[in-house]
Structure 1
Amino acid sequence: MNRNRIYYVLITVVTIVLGLASRQFADYFPFWIKEYLGDVLWALMVFWMFGVVFKRKQSVTIAAYAILFSFGIELSQLYHDTWIDAIRNTRLGGLVLGFGFLWSDLICYTIGVAIGFLLERFFYKSVLVKK
């Protein structure tokens, strides 16, 4: 596979904008969407970012990297110390590292990575890959 980095950066940015919008306009969504959409989009963004970095790796490898990274971030939320909580209390630190461990986030991350994997497979030959 030879991913087109320009497309992947663009869809990463779009995913970030959608994720931030899902938090900003959360009150307009039903509970199950506002509660989980941001986490699904966060993992989808991680999938796209690994696609940018590892442009020649197979989709399943990118998915594995994204799952391991996402789960690692979630598991890191079990650790609390002054220095890491200070990072988490910044806007960017909170968005990247989160605040507290939730089992439901692992499900959301799996769904987000699966969406990225399926979208990549669906659009593989038509859009996302250099000809």
Structure 2
Amino acid sequence: MKPRFVYFILALLTIVLGIASRKIEGIPLFVGDILYAVLVYFGFRWLFLKSKILWQIGLPLLFCFLIEIQQLSTSAKLVAIRETTLWHYVLGQGFLWSDLLCYTMGIGLAYAVDQFWIKQKVS
């Protein structure tokens, strides 16, 4: 199986798991934040298949951090965008320091899966 296809499927699966984590009672909210970072990681891997480790980890982490930081903005237009269903999932709502930790954990988890499982199985 081609790596780009694997990353695409993993991204889709992560979207389903992320949405389910918000809909199923009893799953802590931070699980969705971790899965968000996993999705971003696999999305960037799909886009930049042959990137070096700094880009594999750094770009998704920077993206997640910037998304979280933009939540500090109270611009009326940005708030209105965040209130729509799709953009609420993408941009989130309300800055939390703990989300930065969740994003770091999610990207670390995705990188570990990538290095120790995907690279072993997909050539």
Which residue matches 1:28?
A: 26
Distance 1:125 1:99, change over 3 A: closer
Distance 1:49 1:15, change over 3 A: same
Q: Decide which of 68, 84, 94 is 2:88's aligned counterpart.
A: 94
Tell me if structure 1 keeps the 8 A contact 2:22–2:29. no
Whether 1:54 aligns to 2:48 is yes
Whole-Å separation in 2 of the counterparts to 1:38 and 1:97: 13
Whole-Å separation in 1 of the counterparts to 2:62 and 2:113: 19
Which residue matches 2:17?
A: 18
Return the TM-score normalized by structure 2: 0.93
Where do 5+ consecutive residues of structure 2 fail to align? Answer: none
Identity of matched residues, %: 37
Whether 1:6 aligns to 2:5 is yes
The number of equivalent residue pairs is: 122
User: Which segments of structure 1 move beyond 6 Å, counting only runs of 4 or more?
Assistant: none
Give the alignment's Cα RMSD to 1 decimal: 1.3
- Map of 1:51-130 to 2, 5 A cutoff? 51-128=45-122
Whole-Å separation in 1 of the counterparts to 2:99 and 2:22: 15
Whole-Å separation in 1 of the counterparts to 2:119 and 2:32: 28
Amino acid of the residue matched to residue 10 of structure 1? I
Return the TM-score normalized by structure 1: 0.88
Tell me if structure 1 keeps the 8 A contact 2:21–2:29. no
Where do 5+ consecutive residues of structure 1 fail to align? Answer: none
Tell me if structure 2 keeps the 8 A contact 1:60–1:117. no
